[in-house]
Amino acid sequence: MASISFQEPAFEARNVTVTENGFMVLDDIFLSARDLDKPSDKLMFYIEEFPLHGYITNRNYSGSYKWLTRDDNIDSFNFEELSKRYISIWYYHDCSENTRDQFTIRLSDGIHSIRHVIYVQIVPINDEIPTVRHSGGVSVKRDQSARLSPFAIIADDVDTPNDQLYFIIKAKPQAGYFLRKKVKG
């Protein structure tokens, strides 16, 4: 007897949170689906819009995922394989400094389709090394003082706002000393 599909399948999807450079298994708890027809139809998931800052794949890369390319994305998988753990579907973040991503999944029973946009929150980690863009130095005449201002030393860090960067003095000056001047206010 042929199956006749009268009802849309039920489909729920959760949003994802991963750390920067991290990954998450998208399992049947994350993607919940069921067909309401009797007998049930085969349910297929299709990736309609891929993430801009990550990858959807069915491989566990065990630490070497930083070399993924867009060719490693899968475009479909079936719910039975996912629910029986025959396959694992993974979202891998692409190591960029972006804190948001999204992708669209469509569930189909062959007749009806339901779409969900999955939002990915990426928790940043402070893993980049600050760089000094300008170190112009300071000229000081004997028995005089000079102020180290933001114009004397300029640094950047993609993980930290500039107003939260701190400089550490690693050695004493050979012919002088540092004084910390209190700011009024």
123 - beta bridge partners?
Answer: 19
* pLDDT higher than 90, residue 61: no
Residue bearing the bigger pLDDT, 168 or 55: 55
> In percent, how much of the chain has pLDDT > 70?
90
Domain residue spans in the chain? 10-123, 127-175
Q: Specify the pLDDT at position 66.
A: 59
pLDDT single digits (tens) 107-130? 999 889 999 999 999 998 877 788
CATH 2.60.40.2410 assigned to 10-123? yes
pLDDT tier for residue 179 given thresholds of 50, 70 and 90: confident
The mean per-residue pLDDT over the stretch 60-69 comes to 61
Asked whether the beta carbons of 94 and 120 are under 8 A apart, the reply is: no
Q: Specify the pLDDT at position 17.
A: 95
Q: Is the peptide bond before 161 cis (omega within 30 degrees of 0)?
A: no
Q: Residue 101, Cβ neighbours under 10 Å: how many?
A: 21
Least confident residue range of 17-21, 70-74, 99-103, 112-116: 70-74
pLDDT tier for residue 3 given thresholds of 50, 70 and 90: low
* pLDDT higher than 70, residue 185: no
pLDDT tier for residue 104 given thresholds of 50, 70 and 90: very high
Burial class (CB in 10 A: 0-12, 13-18, 19+), 180: exposed
* pLDDT higher than 60, residue 63: no
pTM, 2 dp: 0.71
Least confident residue range of 38-52, 79-93, 100-114, 160-174: 160-174
The mean per-residue pLDDT over the stretch 7-35 comes to 90
Name 97's Cβ contacts closer than 8 Å, sequence gap at least 6: 20, 124, 128, 158, 159
H/E segment holding residue 79 = helix 79-83
